[in-house]
């Protein structure tokens, strides 16, 4: 038996070009290394596959996260649940939606939602910028997710590239001029005119309602900067061509102003002509 085994091992060893007998110490060391590797693998696999380990045990929140939780518990909990896990028939889970989604929804006044409807409309926001950041921080700490980068979001942007990207990715819903348009079943793509840089970035990252998510694989951060610059510096400016910008109240104020100025000018002109004759 043993001699058989020895012979086989010798043969194998010769095939691999290794010395025949390994010392017992080295063999024991090898076993220990293998055991350690197996343990580490199992540990790693557990942390990767353990169900919702992040969401379950409550990690301590930062100061801002705590402030955010306090606001959340008053204004959002009725629809999104005690730990933002969602409430059947009232509001979806916010675990993993990220700070970007919260900042988008709350800073555009869409949330807190006033009543159940097909699509929460833009409203005057109910929270200050700081409170918005705190709510966003809380949801971020609960479940992670996409975040808006800090700093200038139009850094080194290329307007021409932005226009191209906008026409390919955005204009089918928001129209070439960014004015928005109707979608199916009572939903709509809103006008982009009220949106700030951060709101545009957040909309792309979070894909609210029927809007697709434009993650960093679909549109790199530089491309997002190009699009933001195009919307803010080109689309909104070209919309204003066509006369004085009277506080952007639209064509009716401009028409009224033109009418009044025209009438007054006509009156003076006719008085002048009458005085001459």
Residues that bind ligand HEC (CB under 6 A): 75-76, 78-80, 90-92, 94, 97, 101-102, 105-106, 108, 110-113, 119-120, 122, 135, 169-170, 172-174, 183, 187, 189-190, 192, 194-195, 199-200, 203-204, 206, 208-212, 214, 227
Q: Is 193 annotated as a binding residue?
A: no
CB 224 within 8 A of CB 117: no
Task: Using the Cα atoms of residue 91, residue 95, residue 96 and residue 100 in order, give the sign of their dihedral.
Answer: positive
Backbone angles phi, psi at 242, to 5 degrees: 115, 35
Which lies closer to ligand HEC via its Cβ, residue 14 or residue 123? 123
Minimum distance of ligand HEC from residue 247's CB (angstroms): 19
Q: Is 8 annotated as a binding residue?
A: no
Q: Is 255 annotated as a binding residue?
A: no
Minimum distance of ligand HEC from residue 18's CB (angstroms): 58
Which segments of the chain does DSSP mark as H helices, in order? 2-16, 24-49, 53-56, 63-75, 77-80, 98-107, 129-143, 159-169, 171-174, 197-206, 221-229, 236-240, 251-276
Which lies closer to ligand HEC via its Cβ, residue 109 or residue 257? 109
The helix/strand/coil state of 42 is helix
Minimum distance of ligand HEC from residue 200's CB (angstroms): 4
Which lies closer to ligand HEC via its Cβ, residue 13 or residue 93? 93
Which lies closer to ligand HEC via its Cβ, residue 78 or residue 238? 78
Judged on CB neighbours under 10 Å (0-12, 13-18, 19+), 254 is middle
CB 95 within 8 A of CB 55: yes
Q: Is 80 annotated as a binding residue?
A: yes
Which lies closer to ligand HEC via its Cβ, residue 105 or residue 137? 105
**Numbered residues of the known binding site:** 76, 79-80, 170, 173-174
Annotated binding residues for heme c, as ranges?
Answer: 76, 79-80, 170, 173-174
């Amino acid at each position: 038996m043993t001699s058989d085994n020895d012979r086989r091992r010798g043969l194998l060893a010769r095939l691999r070009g290794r010395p025949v007998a390994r010392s017992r110490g080295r063999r024991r060391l090898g076993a220990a290394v293998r055991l350690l590797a197996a343990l580490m693998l199992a540990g790693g696999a557990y942390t990767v596959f353990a169900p919702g380990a992040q969401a379950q045990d409550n990690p301590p929140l930062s100061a801002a996260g705590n402030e955010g939780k306090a606001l959340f518990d008053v204004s959002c909990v009725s629809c999104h649940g005690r730990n933002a896990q969602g409430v059947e028939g009232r509001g979806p889970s916010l675990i993993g939606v990220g700070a970007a989604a919260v900042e988008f929804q709350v800073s555009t006044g869409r949330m807190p939602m006033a009543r159940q409807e097909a699509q929460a409309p833009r409203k005057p926001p109910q929270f200050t910028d700081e409170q918005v950041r705190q709510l966003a921080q809380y949801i971020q700490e609960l479940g992670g997710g996409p975040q808006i980068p800090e700093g200038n979001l139009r850094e080194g942007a290329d307007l021409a590239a932005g226009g191209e990207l906008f026409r390919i990715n955005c204009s089918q819903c928001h129209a070439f001029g960014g004015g928005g348009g109707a979608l199916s079943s009572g939903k709509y793509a809103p006008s982009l005119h009220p949106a700030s840089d951060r709101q545009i970035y957040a909309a792309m990252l979070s894909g609210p309602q029927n809007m697709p998510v434009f993650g960093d694989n679909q549109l790199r951060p530089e491309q997002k900067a190009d699009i933001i610059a195009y919307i803010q510096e080109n689309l909104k400016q070209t919309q204003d061509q066509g006369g004085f910008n009277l506080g952007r109240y639209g064509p009716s104020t401009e028409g009224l102003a033109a009418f009044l100025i025209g009438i007054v000018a006509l009156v003076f002109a006719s008085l002048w002509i009458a005085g001459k004759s």
